Amino acid sequence: MRTTLSAAALVAASSQIALAQETVTIEFAYPYASTFDVTFDAILPKFNEQHPDIDVKFRSAYEQYEDGTNTMLREAVSNNLPDVTMQGLNRQQILVEKGIAKSLTPFINAEDNFETDGYHAAMLKLSTFDGDVYGLPFAVSLPVGYYNMDALATAGVTETPKTWDEMIGVCKTLIENGSNNPVYWNWAITGNWFLQSLMWTQGKPTVEDGRLTLDSPEALIALETMKSIVDACEMKNLTPSQAVSSFAAGELPMFFTSTSSVGQIERTKSDFNFATAAFPGLDGAPQGLPAGGNAAMLTSTSDDPEVLDAAWAWLTFITSGEGAAEVAKTTGYMPPNQAANDVILADFYDQNPNKRTAVDQLPLLRDWQAYPGANGLAITQVIYEGLEMIATGEADDMEELQQELVEQVNDLLPAN
């Protein structure tokens, strides 16, 4: 027997079909699942409330920024790019040069009330190429010190160190009091960020006029500083994730890394008094520090205006005041959107002093520099391997190591 749908059922069914037909699907990819999964878990429901006609599909997270860039380069060849991607601030240029990233300027100009002034100027500058904006900053980080204040107090240490020499002195005190791993200095963090931190500490950029400054006196001081930390503190060569776990477990008294891990530490740490403090300098406060973090970029290959509009809606929402506020609440990153800091997070940093440390360092914000030419990722790897030789004790003569790095990097730089 044939069944006949009621009029109400027909209306409901046709409405559901219409809704399904009107839904636009976009794909999105981002790095560091352990850091940002909780952030996007908070952002997505809010976005869905405002945009029920947009379905955001999440791709597998990139392991880190270099992996994200390499993945994008491969996907461009196979024509399998996501519509929106999160990329490290120092990895945007190659996607622009290869035509993978789309300019956001036409979308910005089409908006009635879009305020680029709401974004931190130094961050927006890193996403601007030849006068066009190609990325909107999502999360800002700076290096800070993480301290187990209970472990320091047990060793008789009452103040966090202001310089690396002071930090080495605290290391020795901790070792004398039984610590077998007093510190981890996160040399392995993505993009040679900590080497650039030691360079900017001295007011010296790592790249000047299209060439690397690894042959400079400041670069030698940076290498020697890392060597002194590794040797005097008997630093174990952990991975960054091992260091986060070790610090959270109360096994690592001092940890120098990005502010991005503050939220993760606060959620997982054992029962000890946790505090952050400003990143130490050489003879006092650093002269500058590199802006870490990432930006959202439009990389859709679609010609459908609805898909592009949906991608733009997602991209602007996650970097807006509301979206950026979730970055601060769930991680240790700072939101680059002024609306998040001034309105949504008005009292947040007073109530979360460990996340305020990086905000207080914002006047030190400098470029996280990309290395010039098509071999930028290869140069990053060369420098990484050189720093690893310090961390493992394989390199002892810093002048010799400096010369080796200079020669290898120069071979990878563009001829002109």
Residues 279 and 174 both lie in one domain: yes
Residue 6 reports pLDDT greater than 70: no
Residues 165 and 249 both lie in one domain: yes
Establish if 163 belongs to a structural domain. yes
Tokens representing 414 are: 């563009």
Residue 392 reports pLDDT greater than 80: yes
Least confident range from 16-25, 106-115, 306-315, 343-352: namely 16-25
Distance CA 265, CA 269 (A): 5
Distance CA 383, CA 223 (A): 11
- Whether 95 and 299 have beta carbons less than 8 Å apart is answered as yes
Residues 48 and 163 both lie in one domain: no
Distance CA 166, CA 145 (A): 13
pLDDT tens string 124-142: 787 899 999 999 989 889 9
**pLDDT (0 to 100) of residue 18:** 43
Q: Which helix (H) or strand (E) holds 387?
A: helix 376-391
Residues 132 and 89 both lie in one domain: yes
110 HSE (CA, 13 A, CB side) = 8
The total domain count for the chain is 2
Establish if 52 belongs to a structural domain. yes
- Whether 96 and 315 have beta carbons less than 8 Å apart is answered as no
Please, which residues have CB within 8 angstroms of residue 344's CB and are 6 or more apart in sequence? 321, 322, 325
Establish if 15 belongs to a structural domain. no
- Supply the pTM of this predicted model: 0.85
Establish if 12 belongs to a structural domain. no
pLDDT tens string 324-354: 889 888 998 888 877 777 767 878 888 999 9
Residues 276 and 320 both lie in one domain: no
Residues 286 and 338 both lie in one domain: no
Residues 85 and 223 both lie in one domain: no
Establish if 8 belongs to a structural domain. no
Establish if 339 belongs to a structural domain. yes
- 116 band by pLDDT with thresholds 50, 70 and 90: low
Q: Comparing C-alpha atoms, which of 191, 198, 215 is closest to residue 410? A: 215
Establish if 3 belongs to a structural domain. no
Task: Indicate which CATH number applies to the domain containing 271.
Answer: 3.40.190.10
pLDDT tens string 161-219: 999 999 999 999 999 999 999 999 999 999 999 999 999 999 999 999 889 999 999 99
**pLDDT (0 to 100) of residue 120:** 67
Establish if 330 belongs to a structural domain. yes
Burial of 302 (0-12, 13-18, 19+ CB in 10 A): middle
Residue 51 reports pLDDT greater than 50: yes
Residues 214 and 128 both lie in one domain: no
Residues 135 and 284 both lie in one domain: no
Can you say whether residue 210 is alpha, beta or left, with left for phi > 0 and alpha for psi between -120 and 50 degrees?
Answer: left
Residues 163 and 303 both lie in one domain: no
Q: Comparing C-alpha atoms, which of 178, 153, 162 is closest to residue 234? A: 178
**pLDDT (0 to 100) of residue 313:** 96
pLDDT, mean of residues 253-262: 96
**pLDDT (0 to 100) of residue 117:** 59
- 411 band by pLDDT with thresholds 50, 70 and 90: very high
Which phi and psi angles does 286 have, rounded to 5°?
-60, 150
Residues 148 and 297 both lie in one domain: no
More confident residue, 335 or 31: 31
Give the percent of the chain with pLDDT over 70.
93
Q: Comparing C-alpha atoms, which of 242, 262, 368, 323 is closest to residue 47? A: 323
Residues 345 and 198 both lie in one domain: no
Which phi and psi angles does 60 have, rounded to 5°?
-60, 135
Distance CA 338, CA 320 (A): 9
By residue range, what is the domain housing residue 344? Answer: 23-141+292-366
256 HSE (CA, 13 A, CB side) = 29
